[in-house]
Amino acid sequence: MLREDHSEHWVEGKFTLYSKDRPQSVIRGVLRDVTESFLQEKRISHMAMHDALTNLPNRVLLEERMEQAISQAQRTGLKIAILFIDLDNFKQVNDVHGHKAGDQFLVAISKVLQANLRNSDTLARWGGDEFVVLLQGIHQIDETYDIAAKLLHVIQKGVLVEHVDTLVTLSIGLATFPDDADTGDNLLIQADKALFFAKSQGRNNIKTSAQMRDNDNPPKSIGTRSRN
């Protein structure tokens, strides 16, 4: 329902139909305002699916969208891709400017990344200084590399936080479905391995899952390694 000020008003109704011994049916009911409880449930649902700091989708929502994207890709024959992104030397930002500034920097970075993606893409915070991008509707693998390169270059220009121009770089691992993996979990693992390979090759670069596989010493998978 809408109030007079055109704001939304959520109600719960209970109605009873009276028709016995009456020439016309009569409906009587009671309406109860449930706006606050409805909005509270909506807030809780949002919090369960989004990162508290950046308000980006979290792992749960990312994985849900990824499974939907894979199903769609199987129907259409198009590809999807995962960009696994790590901020190089982010620890130095915390050490020099403090953790509060570090949090502000992560928020600023997320906004810059989001502004340089397509509307159909999903940017999620994986945790710490790591982000994941889900790219859908990909025709050629080169498209994914071009998007990754765009993100790499825009961050190289610096990010302004509290009037301080902070310079960082990105390392990006790239994997595509169905070329590099046949499930969502494996796609994330392959992109994560490619990211670790990118960091081992000097950081501030992009490495694909195919390039990683050509390496003689494939890196470890998610959760079995450490980064700086």
Half-sphere exposure of 172 (CA within 13 A, CB side): 24
Distance CA 171, CA 200 (A): 10
Question: Of the listed 51, 88, 129, 180, which one is catalytic?
Answer: 129
Alpha helices in 56-183 (DSSP H): 59-76, 90-97, 99-115, 141-156
Distance CA 221, CA 179 (A): 18
> Which amino acid, one-letter code, is at 160?
L
> Which amino acid, one-letter code, is at 13?
G
- Picking from 220, 49, 54, 210, the residue whose alpha carbon sits closest to that of residue 144 is 210
Residue with tokens 């046949």: 182
Q: Has 129 been annotated as catalytic?
A: yes
Distance CA 63, CA 7 (A): 34
Distance of CA 153 to the CA centre of its chain: 20
Query: Do 161 and 101 meet the contact criterion of CB atoms below 8 Å apart?
Result: yes
Distance CA 213, CA 38 (A): 50
The Cβ of residue 45 has, within 10 Å, a number of other Cβ atoms equal to 10
Catalytic (active-site) positions: 129
